[in-house]
Each structure stands twice: as C-alpha cells, then as structure tokens.
A = this chain, B = another copy of it.
C-alpha cells in the first residue's frame, strides 16, 4: 500500500486505535456472541472512509484469552486490504523468537506493520524487516509520563537516548521500512526527530484523551511525503455509549479528519 497516496486521496492521516475494553463499550453489545468484534466492526463501518489506518493494541485482546485472539483475527480480516493495519504489540525478542513472532503477525494475521521496543537492539528488530512491504514501528519517544525515565536521558554524545534510537536504527538493513512512535505530548521534540529521520513516517499517539497540541505537532512533523499517522483511540471509539454510538464515533472521527485536511491543502 502506498500510504502517502492513500492520505492524499482521502485527505486524512488518521489512524483509529481499536482498543476495546468490555467495561467501556456500549453495553447492549455485551449480549452479542463476540462483543469485541461487533464493537470493532461498528467502529470500522463508521470510520473507514475517513481514516487510512487501524491499530489494534494487542493487550486488550490478550486480556480475553484465546477468545480475544479470535476477535482480533476477525477484526483484521474485516478491515481488509484497503487500510494500513498496525499490530500494536510493543515487544521485542532475539532472532530465533522474533522470527516466530514476525511469522505470526505478518504471515498468519496479515498485518502491515508492528510496533517494537528498541531496547534489545538490531537483532531483535531485523527479522521483522526482512518482509518486503511490511513495516516496523519503533518506540522512540512515547507519550506517557515514564518516557522521561530513560528516553530523554542524555548520552555522553550529548544526544538524548531517543536520538540514539533514531541514529542507530537508520543504519539497519531496510531502514527505509522503519517508522517511529513519537508522542504528541512532546511537540518540541518533533523538530529533533525530523533532523535524524527526515523521510520516515511517524506514528503519533497522545492526541485526544492523552492531551497534545495537534496543529503544533503536525507543523513540526509533516514532511514532503506527509510522513505522519496520527493515532486516536479512546476519544473516538468511546464517543458514544448508547444504541446510536456509531453516529457519535463518526462525528468525532470527522473532527480529526477535517483538522488534518487543513494541513493537506498544499499536497496534490
């Protein structure tokens, strides 16, 4: 999938986070056979023409045991091939094990990309980069409070640790298929990120329920290929609680899509 082309066509770089929590989804869905899938299906139906990507966070599915994995697989199948599908797994392991995992996520489940933690280094990431047309999205500067514990610590070189992640990973094989997670709560850091990763796509969480200034983030982050995916989960998917929740979900997603469209006026 040519993500830049999709974004230009749809005039949106919205990614919808599919993080279904049984205590938060509209309660009438709990009577269905597979509430998580029914919820996701409703969200997808309400947003598919105004977003370019979906990102299920694996933790929400794993929390339901084997049944959760079935809901996840059904969700991925339902999304189909017209959207960029991100496995938000945030893990890492050494070669042998990483291969197993890459096979599972890319071949069996048919995701287009996976989020990984960089802490274990190149050989924990490389097995995922051997798949043509598949992407790795490295945790770089996350949107949570704990991101200052290590990510913004300074190295002897004077660079932040997250800058080292950008520099080091840019040397890895097939580095053009690496994207980076950069939290929108740190708009001032986006310029620094673009210095080391001028061409890569950035996946930006932290807009919506977690705060973050959307316009500032987009201005600092956008490049000649757009190069941005903005993920919004809670504030869209839990916009409504009753039987008509789909309308509220769509209305909220449209707010984000319209905001993004303004930044795409100069792109043909």
A interface vs B, CB < 8 Å? 19, 21, 57, 59-60, 62-67, 69-70, 73, 89-95, 97-98, 100-101, 103-104, 108, 117-125, 139, 142-151, 153-156, 158, 161, 164-165, 168
Residue of chain B at shortest CB distance from A153: B155
Residue of chain B at shortest CB distance from A62: B104
Known pairs A65-B104, A121-B145, A148-B121; A98 contacts B59 (CB<8 A): yes
Question: B94 to A91, Cβ gap below 8 A?
Answer: no
Task: Name the B residues within 8 Å of A155 (CB-CB).
Answer: 153-156
With A and B bound together, what is the CA distance between A22 and B118 in angstroms?
28
Residue of chain B at shortest CB distance from A122: B146
With A and B bound together, what is the CA distance between A221 and B150 in angstroms?
25
Known pairs A60-B100, A65-B69, A92-B90; A118 contacts B120 (CB<8 A): no
Q: A120-B139, A124-B144 are in contact. List 18 more A-B contacts (CB 8 A).
A: A57-B93, A59-B101, A60-B100, A62-B101, A65-B108, A66-B69, A66-B70, A92-B117, A94-B142, A118-B119, A119-B151, A121-B146, A122-B146, A123-B145, A123-B146, A125-B146, A155-B155, A156-B156
